[in-house]
Amino acid sequence: MLFLALGFTALLILGLPIFLAMAGSAIAVIGTGDIPLGVVAQRISAGVQSFPLLAVLLFTLAGALMNESGISDRLFALTRAFVGHIRGGLAQSVVISNVFLSGISGSSVADCAASARIFVPQLTKAGCGQGFAAALCAASSSMGPIIPPSILMVIYAWQANTSLGDLFWAGIIPGLVMAVCMMIVVAIIAAKRNFPKDGGMSSARLWITFKEAFWALMMPVLILGGFRAGVFTATEIAGVAAAYSFVVGAFFYRTLSFKALPRILRTTAMETAVVLIIVAAAAPFSWILAVEQAPQMLVQAIKGLTSNPWVLLLILNVALLLLGMVMESIAIMIILVPILLPVLTAFGIDLTHFGIVLLINLVIGQLTPPVGVLLFVAGSVSRTKLSDIIREMKPFYVALIGALALVTYIPALSLWLPSVFK
């Protein structure tokens, strides 16, 4: 196991992508032992032969269709009409819009790109500052993997062998907690910097924007309602979301061109390939850790430190936040979840609850340099300097870590809805 860890670290230092570092170190360990190299191919093949992983492709496709069809634009217009009249209302509408977007796309990157494209120019023109605008769009999009549907939930449910339906219900309240924490930060900043109001509230404007956004708002209702009624399985929901995005964009809003489909499908294939190649490369890596009994060793090591599950969660939160600064979210999940499952079981921690805690840690990692993908997306789309975004991110870090603490130590925030909808 030491050889595996050293090889993995060395390959990362040399600058290899994470999937090559995992596969390369696993091949090196197997090649120096008495295990046939054919095991590598077998483990890689077995690692991606899972029906639930089909949802990753379909949710990615749904997000791409959503952005192309202008669904996000209509949601933004509705939330702006709803809260634009309060101090800093335009900034608050970014957070509220991303609550709705999270219930459609399941991808923080897609939500961040859509938000930054629309809101950064508007917020900058309103005098809120380009750096603040980009930071707000990046932070708000972190709800994407928490509020269902979620690609990261699909992967965690597959790894932890837990109910994806329970995870979907479990993410709703924590996602709203994150939204409230960020809205409090926005309200404080808006008051201190005297952000403008976006005119008075108009019932006519609200009704018009609601009608235009109606079909977009129905997607979360269709997904969760269909699942609750037993019409769709958790995996089938992804296909329904993709089909619904296409129908709404092509036939209701008529903004989705059939000529754009080949480009959308290519983009979807490339984004899905990035996820699945990490899943495939991690299979032999995780297999070696299991053979070397790394999970059992970790259980004993942690029991030597503490027997308190709350202290364990604190340790895991700190470790995950640090890892999120230097590693990609999916790689962290695929490497650590199989190792942590025996630890969580030994300490009596609910796997659904921990799944939400893990996801919040991972999305905070997407906002922290040097591997803060959401910072780069917001900066690239809005053409904002990374240093300006990071400077404005500080209060949002406080808000999100506060939300993480609440969700970690109040398990009912994650577990109440799954218990209601059993």
DSSP state, 22? H
Backbone angles phi, psi at 104, to 5 degrees: -120, -50
Distances (CA, A) of 283 to 58, 148, 174: 22, 26, 30
- Predicted confidence (pLDDT) per residue in 273-304, tens digit: 877 787 777 777 777 777 777 666 766 777 77
Helices (H), 148-260: 151-160, 164-170, 172-193, 203-228, 234-247
The whole-model pTM stands at 0.83
- Predicted confidence (pLDDT) per residue in 207-220, tens digit: 888 888 888 888 87
pLDDT (0 to 100) of residue 294? 67
pLDDT (0 to 100) of residue 1? 60
The residue ranking higher by pLDDT, 317 or 104, is 317
Provide Rg for the chain, Cα atoms: 22
- Predicted confidence (pLDDT) per residue in 155-202, tens digit: 898 888 888 888 989 999 999 999 999 999 999 999 999 888 776 667
Distances (CA, A) of 344 to 162, 312, 339, 350, 354: 13, 9, 10, 7, 8
pLDDT at 135 over 80: yes
- The per-residue DSSP string of 41-74 comes to HHHHHHHH--GGGHHHHHHHHHHHHHHHHTHHHH
- Predicted confidence (pLDDT) per residue in 12-68, tens digit: 788 777 778 877 888 887 777 677 777 777 777 776 676 667 777 787 787 778 777
Q: How many residues does the chain have?
A: 422
pLDDT (0 to 100) of residue 59? 78
- The per-residue DSSP string of 319-378 comes to HHHHHHTTS-HHHHHHHHHHHHHHHHHHTT--HHHHHHHHHHHHHHHTTSTTS-HHHHHH
State the average pLDDT for the chain: 83
Q: How far apart are CA 278 and CA 17, in angstroms?
A: 10
The Cβ-side half-sphere exposure at 206, using a 13 Å CA radius, reads 10
- Predicted confidence (pLDDT) per residue in 389-408, tens digit: 999 999 999 999 999 999 99
Backbone angles phi, psi at 128, to 5 degrees: -85, -15
